[in-house]
Amino acid sequence: MNLTPLLVAEILLFPGLTFFVFMAFILEWLERKTAARVQGRRGPVVAGPFGIVQPVADFFKLSMKEEIVPEESDKFIMRWGPPLYFAAPAAGLVFVPVIALSALIQNQFDLFFMFFILSFTTLMASLLGYASAGRYSTVAVGRLVLQYSSYEIPMLLSMIVPAVLSGKLSLSGIVAAQSGHWFVLFAPVGFAVFIIAALAELEKPPFDIPSASTEIVGGWMTEFSGNTLAYVKLTKNLSYVFLSALSATLFLGGPQGPIFVSGAMAAVVLHTFYFTVKLLFVAFLIFAIRTALARVKIDQATRLFWTILTPLALVQLGVAVILGW
Amino acid sequence: MGRRRVGKAFGEMLRMVWARPVTVKYPFEPAKVAGRFRGKLDIDPAKCTGCGVCKNSCPAGVIEMVKIGTRKVGDREIENRRPVFDLYTCISCGQCVDDCRFGALKLTGDFELAVFDKESLVMKKALKIVE
Amino acid sequence: MSEEQDRELRKTGAGLMEYSPEGIMPFGPVHPSLKEPEYFSLLLEGEKIVDVQARIGYVHRGIERAGQDNTWIKNIYLFERVCGICSFAHSIAYSQAVEALSGFVVPKRGRYIRTIIAELERIHSHLLWLGLVGHWTGFDTLFMWIWKDRERVLDLIEAITGNRVHKSYSTLGGVRRDLPDGIAESMKKEMEFIQKRVDYYSELVRTEQTIVVRTRGVGRLSQDAARRLCPVGPLLRSTGISRDVRVEDPYAAYDEIVPEVKTSNEGDIASLLKLRLDEVADSCRMILEAMAKLPEGGYKIAFPRVVPRGDSVFHVEAPRGELFYFVRSAGSIKPSRVKIRTPTMANILAATEMLKGHTLADVPVVLTGMDPCFGCMDRLSVVEAGSGREWMMNGEQLRTFGIEYYSGKG
């Protein structure tokens, strides 16, 4: 793989980082608006039309606030952890095909890299939580790690299902195998398991256990403030985009769509359109689940993942093996 | 009566999508208050006789009687007083309105009492002598 | 920590101070799930709560003392500010204590109107708690919905009394104003609306799995523990003990509009949810009944400035439980002593007892299962660190204590 200037520009701008950060802000706005709508409120209204600039305004306002680093915290991790934490979903998103059927960067085994990204995000979160040395963060990290160890297995199992169905281990290969028939048709259970595990990964209700504000204040983010907090929150939204994009890619055919046109420019527009629609669909699914449920306790979450979702994912995997064969 | 399951609230959520939001766009649109709302106090200087009953009845100590002149009753000099209201500490209970037998006081529906300058909430309207 | 160690520590009388600070999770005084400042040290073992110690007094405001400097009528507005939610319960408890002292009888219409407002207040207080249960269990949608409906009740209260929170509606000898014209129709409409919503929420909290697993069996208080710790109000009724001041010692018009006392045998948060929802429905019924039976005539009598010498005790059923007022008059224009015992004061011990053995995730919903109002409850007591001896002080002793304490600090 050689880095041409066009590729660098693509990674940094359009289907790459800038596009996804933009999507992260849009998703936050949509989340706040839809949650407000079903709760009988209006949500953000002031900044921009329908308050669409509100997440951006919040981000810049927060990044200009005073930053307090606790005396007893590990200064090194507090300083260099957040950029690494931010880098994880940003790096993962480059492997997701958006404007074409193949991603900007791809190799034969990039599904394994996705596994790595997902666990690295949690690892960074728990490192940051421990490094900040707060009482609430410590409890939150305990919950985070326990929750991770419970949702990881069903999540990875459900991610293997598309790989088995397509016989490929790269995201681009999985997308290419889905022309005409999306894997959600063959693996609806796998898709459901992945969405539920994604809720847990994103710390959204009903699995917002590691950041439950009524119990442990800010969760593992309690001791962060100012600029760092702004980026940590942005990263959480970026993870949101990442997981939505991943489920759109793995189960909904990514940029595949019903109508194809010839011509480079039109294809790019169509592919991006299909991809964005699917991403928003998954995001709306997550909004709907998160607004309709109460938070469960950590033992209940663990029991759910280990005794119900893991067997389901295994069964789905078995079905996929038979189908793929 | 229904069975226990996850996601019972979805039906109501869908209904709420079409319902009108409850939030009022208050600073951009005027907010409505009830007819009996007890807001900012107002005084009619023409009706006030300066008896000072309101001062004695105020639980928050908002009212101060200020001398505005003297009058002669027989061969004695008697001070003319009028109330000054520090609406910053007013709790809008309306006890002074109940106790004023001349009907000089009333509570208006105005509730926007946030000011930059505390002094601007001191109501000295009654000091202007209306003859 | 093993049980033996625990027993040993209890035998020596040492409190939580003896434990290592690492195991103690501070809960408050500033915490997102507590709306008022109060401090609870939770001794944790992993996520499990081993012991709880409550420390109160963060918002002690000296209202009882301030009441001694005000005239009888001014005190109405002071004492209703003890609590922001049950302000009308406070004002009628005080008014009725003073009325009992003077021997005046409030006209029937006035007593009916008091009952109506007290029940409206119960509805809005219970709905507030129910919504907050949604918030504490992370179900913000339920929280917003219930508070959206509660807004209609608050609007009704504003239309009648002129304010949403501090109603300033009761006065010595009756209520200050008559009901506004045409309130009967809107009252009927709103009560029917609330009744419909209560039916929906009862169904929702009973059948939504995620709420059920968070509330059923959580914060269980046994009947024996309840008899030992003497909680009041819904918390007591949820353990199966039927106690309601409105029935046992009727005041206002409760002798004619009889409430139905609801009890439950579970004693957990799920039963508290059901109990409070049932009480809201019952209050709706009582309000409509009172509106139908509302007698004509005066709603207020003239009340003298001076109250004869004597002591008076009055209790009412505030939304949170039995509220207790003691008023002493020396025959002047001011009370010489007013003592308030708010429901939270009686409930807080039971709440800390309920917490033990639960996990940290249960703390917000269990601790607040009694619907706490810490601002109402706070009082001052001095505890000697180490021995755990506590005592109450009068003003002079407190002053000497303060001088000694600060002279030691330089």
Check whether the bond before A206 is cis (ω within 30° of 0). yes
Is residue C6's pLDDT more than 60? Answer: no
Is residue C388's pLDDT more than 70? Answer: no
Residues of chain B contacting residue A308, judged by C-beta atoms under 8 Å apart: none
- Residues C250 and C260 placed together within one structural domain of the fold: yes
Residues of chain A contacting residue B25, judged by C-beta atoms under 8 Å apart: 42, 45
Between chains, do B60 and C77 touch, taking CB under 8 Å as contact?
Answer: yes
- With cut-offs at 50, 70 and 90, classify the pLDDT of residue A179: confident
- Residues C95 and C162 placed together within one structural domain of the fold: yes
Residues of chain B contacting residue A47, judged by C-beta atoms under 8 Å apart: none
Confidence (pLDDT) at A266:
76
Mean pLDDT for A118-130 is 88
Residues C203, C220 contacting (CB under 8 angstroms): no
Is residue C20's pLDDT more than 70? Answer: no
Structure tokens at A262: 């010839």
Domain that holds residue C210: 63-341
- With cut-offs at 50, 70 and 90, classify the pLDDT of residue C7: low
Is residue C265's pLDDT more than 60? Answer: yes
Confidence (pLDDT) at C267:
81
Confidence (pLDDT) at C382:
53
Size of interface A-B (CB pairs under 8 A): 31
Confidence (pLDDT) at A202:
87
Mean pLDDT for B46-64 is 87
Mean pLDDT for A7-21 is 79
CATH for B33-127 is 3.30.70.3270
- Residues C22 and C108 placed together within one structural domain of the fold: no
Is residue A185's pLDDT more than 70? Answer: yes
- Nearest neighbour of C148 by CB, restricted to A40, A213, A300: A40
- With cut-offs at 50, 70 and 90, classify the pLDDT of residue C1: very low
Interatomic CA distance for residues C257 and C113, integer angstroms = 12
Give the residue, C381 or C107, on which the prediction is more confident: C107
Interatomic CA distance for residues C123 and C288, integer angstroms = 13
- Residues C125 and C156 placed together within one structural domain of the fold: yes
- The three-class DSSP label of residue C336 is strand
- With cut-offs at 50, 70 and 90, classify the pLDDT of residue C383: low
Confidence (pLDDT) at B110:
84
Confidence (pLDDT) at A288:
86
- Residues C16 and C91 placed together within one structural domain of the fold: no
- Residues C320 and C333 placed together within one structural domain of the fold: yes
What share of chain C in percent tops pLDDT 70? 87
Structure tokens at C113: 């109107």
Confidence (pLDDT) at C14:
43
One-character DSSP codes across A112-153? HHHHHHHHHHHHHHHHHHHHTT-HHHHHHHHHHHHHHHHHHH
Between chains, do A288 and B13 touch, taking CB under 8 Å as contact?
Answer: yes
Confidence (pLDDT) at C18:
47
Residues of chain B contacting residue A45, judged by C-beta atoms under 8 Å apart: 25
Mean pLDDT for A230-257 is 87
Residues of chain A contacting residue B17, judged by C-beta atoms under 8 Å apart: 37-38
- Nearest neighbour of C141 by CB, restricted to A39, A136, A142: A39
- Residues C388 and C250 placed together within one structural domain of the fold: no
Confidence (pLDDT) at C176:
87
Confidence (pLDDT) at C65:
82
What is the tens place of the pLDDT at every residue in A140-159?
888 888 888 899 899 988 88
- Residues C364 and C247 placed together within one structural domain of the fold: no
Q: Give the DSSP H or E segment for C51.
A: strand C48-55
Number of domains in chain C: 3
- Residues C132 and C170 placed together within one structural domain of the fold: yes
What is the tens place of the pLDDT at every residue in C312-369?
888 888 888 888 888 888 888 888 888 888 888 888 888 888 888 888 888 888 888 7
Vertex A177: Cα angle to A172 and A181 (nearest 5): 130
Confidence (pLDDT) at C280:
92
- Residues C169 and C36 placed together within one structural domain of the fold: no
Between chains, do A297 and C362 touch, taking CB under 8 Å as contact?
Answer: yes
Between chains, do B91 and C210 touch, taking CB under 8 Å as contact?
Answer: no
Q: Going edge to edge, which strands form the sheet with B122-123?
A: B63-73, B76-86, B122-123
Residues A81, A90 contacting (CB under 8 angstroms): no
What is the tens place of the pLDDT at every residue in C55-76?
777 777 778 888 888 888 888 8
- With cut-offs at 50, 70 and 90, classify the pLDDT of residue C409: low
- Residues C291 and C225 placed together within one structural domain of the fold: yes
Confidence (pLDDT) at C194:
92
Confidence (pLDDT) at C16:
46
A293 contacts chain B (CB < 8 A): yes
One-character DSSP codes across B22-89? S---TTTSPPP--TT---SEEE-TTT-----HHHHH-TT--EEEEEEEEEEETTEEEEEEEEEEETTS
**Of C19-23, C96-100, C112-116, where does mean pLDDT reach its minimum?**
C19-23
Residues of chain B contacting residue C160, judged by C-beta atoms under 8 Å apart: 36
With the C-alpha atoms ordered A294, A295, A297, A302, is the resulting torsion angle positive or negative? positive
Residues B87, B123 contacting (CB under 8 angstroms): yes
- With cut-offs at 50, 70 and 90, classify the pLDDT of residue A88: confident
- Residues C355 and C301 placed together within one structural domain of the fold: no
- A38, A41, A285: best mutation site toward chain B, by most B Cβ within 10 Å? A38
Confidence (pLDDT) at C10:
47
- Nearest neighbour of A40 by CB, restricted to B9, B10, B21: B21
Interatomic CA distance for residues C320 and B93, integer angstroms = 25
- Domain of C71, CATH number, reads 1.10.645.10
Residues of chain C contacting residue B37, judged by C-beta atoms under 8 Å apart: 158, 162-163
Confidence (pLDDT) at C13:
41
Q: Which residues of C touch A (CB under 8 A)?
A: 25-26, 31-33, 44, 46-47, 134-142, 144-145, 148, 208, 210-211, 213-214, 359-364
Interatomic CA distance for residues C398 and C406, integer angstroms = 12
Least Cα separation, residue B81 to chain C (angstroms): 23
